[in-house]
Amino acid sequence: MHDTHPARALVPLPRSVTVPADGGRLELDARTVLDAREGTEDTARVLRCTLGAATGLPLPPGSTGVDGGAVLRLRVDETVAAELGPEGYRLEVTASGAEIAGGAAAGVFWGVQTLRQLLGPDAYRGAPLPGRPRTLPHTVVEDAPRFPWRGFMVDVARHFTPKDGVLRWIDLLAAHKLNVLHLHLTDDQGWRLHVERFPRLTEVGAWRPRTRLGHRASPLWDERPHGGFYTHDDIREIVAYAAERHVTVVPEIDLPGHSQAAIAAYPELGNTDVHGDAAHTAPEVWTDWGVSPHVLAPTEAVLRFYEGVFEEVLDLFPGEFVHIGGDECPRDQWRRSPTARARAARLGLDGVDGLQAWFTRHFGRLLAERGRRLVGWDEILDDRGADGDGPVPVPGAVVSSWRGYAGGIAAARAGLDVVMCPEQQVYLDHRQDAGEDEPVPIGYVRTLRDVHGFEPVPPELEGTEAAGRVLGAQANLWTEVVEDRRRAEYQAFPRLAAFAEVVWSRREAREWEDFERRMAGAHYARLDALGVAYRPPSGPRPWQRRPGIAGFPRQGPPPSV
């Protein structure tokens, strides 16, 4: 196969590509029709919206081309399902047309993303460019993903992403065959989901008076108020838009830590019997970064409050998974609170440290009773059994292993499902280069090559039954120093394209030099057509730099933990 053939520039790398010897191409023009069979209607609608806009073609329904024109066929095929699974597809382009057969509707949709890439970068524009050809190379692609969970988390709590920005993220994920969008909706610095029964969560909790610029050691402040939130209809639109593109939206309502914004709105949620320290008075929405000492009180009233929150969350987000956070929960207030100590004693706990696991188990049961599954950061494993020999699992829970691989390994061995997202490997807020021009450098250097080399299944699990507990992986983008869309896209791209290949393509087929060639040969041009503000291989453009704003770079290679 010639390196210049468009099928040689697909990202992520497909399982199999066959190019016929004829070297022919299929022309798409005003005679081209779209034959969408049962089960592919949503994909057909999205295809008309994207390719129709980029090519200017109406793509009317029909089973035969007008006056000999091409036919684009979409269908669900049981044979493909048996061979490649529900997200697998077979794309064949011949002289008479193009057919995408998917194992299920999702497979058809991913096949359409491949077809779009084969059309060339102009297929990602919002209007047709005059005089450009619209042809597909004769090709056969057979493909399927390696993992079912191919995720990306965007932190909309620290810096708010307006609704149109979330819809753009969904489009960018879908174009890269990523299928989970995890929205970090609540934290100390902001509460982003309107809750009808508790309106102060957004009236108060969605707004902070000012914002630290850079890492918390920086002396600089942006004195403008910052905030925003999503209405119920915003969320319904986001979820429906994602569903058409086979992206699942996973909401995160963080508890019992990272709750200062909620406590600012409803002070009775906090440990109100802790006195004598100005840091523990009723807080405002936090303007700084780090881990707040304000945590939820372990009371029945707090449980009832959050049960009400989750009732609305479950009504808005129909997906199987709901994230409850569970990370970085300081115990100092509980240790100083007579109420918290008494609650721990009544529960038979060995001190207040067990209260976090009590929160986790309570909401794990609530979600299970409603047919959902709890997802939590790997701290939900920190509570140990009476003999201290292992994690106490929440039945059906999924563990987001962020502090390294260790939490995921322990969870998988305990029979829990795992999403690997170690900060040392796939936190996209970490800097992309050691150079001084990197904007507000945070964390370890994680280059494009580093992310492409990430492996979700650690050696400790390879070849064991527990390896099957790794659902996949997720790249996370925290936004303390990421203030707007262009800044976020700089941090995410092109590394998110490398991550997409990690979770989609077979491990043994991935080669860095080949990926780098495909990026240079076509994928940067696709990102350009989409208007993505990615980091160029040569380094940040002048407007992408943030001189004079202090970060927190970590030196040396990241530890493997």
CA distance 323 to 329: 15
Name the active-site residue from 258, 294, 430, 523: 258
Name the active-site residue from 29, 171, 328, 460: 328
Q: Enumerate the H helices of 197-296 as residue ranges.
A: 200-203, 232-244, 260-265
Does 244 participate in catalysis according to the annotation? no
User: Hey, is 419 helix, strand or coil?
Assistant: strand
Q: Which residues contact 235 (CB under 8 A, 6 or more apart)?
A: 193, 316, 317
**Residue 470 φ then ψ, to 5°:** -80, 100
User: What amino acid is encoded at 24 in this protein?
Assistant: G
What are the structure tokens assigned to 354, written together?
């067990």
CB half-sphere exposure, 344, CA atoms < 13 A = 19
Does 258 participate in catalysis according to the annotation? yes
CB 96 within 8 A of CB 138: no
Nearest Cα neighbor of 215 from 259, 158, 293 is 158
Q: CB atoms < 10 A from the CB of 392, how many? A: 16
Beta-bridge partner residues of 187? 190
Does 328 participate in catalysis according to the annotation? yes
Name the active-site residue from 77, 142, 187, 450: 187
CA distance 74 to 207: 46
CA distance 445 to 423: 11
CB 50 within 8 A of CB 44: no
- 373-377/226-227 β-pairing: unpaired
User: What amino acid is encoded at 489 in this protein?
Assistant: E
Residues involved in catalysis? 187, 258, 328
